[in-house]
Amino acid sequence: MFLGMDVGTGGTRAVLVNQQGYLVASASSEHAPFRTPHPGWAEQDPEDWWRAAQEAIHAALASVPGVHVEAVGLTGQMHGAVMLDKDGEVLRPSLIWCDQRTGPQCDWLHAQFGEGEAGRTRLIELTANPALPNFTLTKLLWVKEHEPEIFARIAHILCPKDYVRYRLTGAFAMDVQEASGTLLLDVAHRRWSKEVARVAGIPESWLPELFESPEICARISAEAAGLTALTAGTPVAAGAGDQGAGAVGMGILEPGSVSATIGTSGVVFAATAAPTRDPHGRLHTFCHAVPGRWHVMGVTQAAGLSLSWLRETLAPDQSYDALTADAAKIAAGSDGLLWTPYLLGERTPHLDSSATAAFVGITATTTRAHFTRAVLEGVAYSLKDTFTLFAELGIPVRDIRLGGGGARGPLWREIQAAVYGYPCERLTAEEGGAFGAALMAGVGAGGWPDLEAACAAAITVAETIHPDAAAVRRYAEGYAGYRRVYPALKGIRG
């Protein structure tokens, strides 16, 4: 068996996968809710991740008596800043991916590389990405400015899943896919950027050793073995951030293969043969979990969150199935009602942490079902913005695999196929990032020769959803209207 672990925002999940690619067991342990000491802040305690990891591993192993784990792979929420002192002790709660406090630090960093747009352009040349509040480096810069006594004690910096690996193995390690989201990586050359680290004032000694995702980078320590029931010496693969591991778990490995995944956030992910930079920084360009490949992705901050917000606000007594059943009775286009899903600002394509959400087109005949369908459509329009950028940059799209909550209901699948204008596939079992992490562990341990072979064994398509021609036309009109809403709202905000 191969063990995959996903250190998410809400909890940690552990799965066991056999060499035939079947998920044999899974278990989860919830995290404490993240703290928001001030609006826009988001922090979690790394020790809570370690507690949850131990619980999830114990539960998964206990469900398969006598199981022998050949290797472990990790994934998790990206961009979180975990700061450790020289003894490996946590210095402060981690600023996690959705923390939005670091706008001033983004502006400062761009300015260090040139005046105006030239600074942003130079940073994109060095790291393939502009500075954004989500990235790890800008969080470190905030601590440097506001908590200098903490910054002075830093000896190691890690991301969330890499902290759990440290507790499992004692190793300070990170994969290049995860490192791409720190803003400290030279993505094109898959190595730390000496220039960015120097300009930002980050000692290179703080940075962990880098590995490709399927590489074995550490082994379970005797101490961790006693706490988890894993065997001391079990190899641990480098793994990947949640989007990279999720893409492996969906078989998005070759150029032309694309996934659209709707969780709390929404991500459109495309594999590429070379690093493809957007000169305006509207897409993220990262190293892929597949050695020697890269990927681009666009992010909608509040995709699935939009639907959960709607339910909690307008229909707390209704199930999601009931809401979407009512929405299915409304014609495509929601009778002109539009939703912009900017509840947490927006990343792609606007790079605007102050963007706000809105319903546009409410009339006296608008019902709750209209609101629900408009949210489903608005999230799909937002993700289509990424496909628009793919076309602009010449990034190929052959077919799209749907994942997350957006793949589980037939209505949202049909909406996405018609909005994107491509056939969309639903997998027989979409198991998420932990499954991809287990496949990486299997490759690292020699269970499969490479990730392509692992995915061929483990992944099958259950259904292809072809876009309805009439809906495609209606959504083309709706998308044109949707694209006009953000500039109008920005004009109102000033």
Catalytic residue numbers, as ranges: 242
Token output for 307 = 């639907």
Given a contact cutoff of 8 angstroms between Cβ atoms, the answer to whether 451 and 416 are in contact is no
The span from the CA of 381 to the CA of 340, in Å, is 9
CB atoms within 10 A of CB 219: 19
Q: Quote the radius of gyration of the chain (alpha carbons, Å).
A: 22
Helix axes 320-327, 368-393, angle to 10 degrees: 80
- HSE on the CB side for 425, CA within 13 Å? 18
342 by Cβ neighbours in 10 Å (0-12 / 13-18 / 19+) ranks as buried
Give me the residue label for tokens 């289509």: 384
- Token pair of 423, please? 């056939």
Q: Which residues pair with 294 in a beta bridge?
A: 272, 287
Tokens linked to 473? 């036309």
| Torsion angle, alpha carbons of 374, 375, 381, 386, to 10 | 180
Q: What is the DSSP letter of 343?
A: B
Spatial separation of the C-alpha atoms in residues 454 and 456, rounded to whole Å: 5
Amino acid, res. 143: V
Cα distance between residue 242 and residue 246, in whole Å: 6
Which of 347, 348, 346 is CA-nearest to residue 358?
346
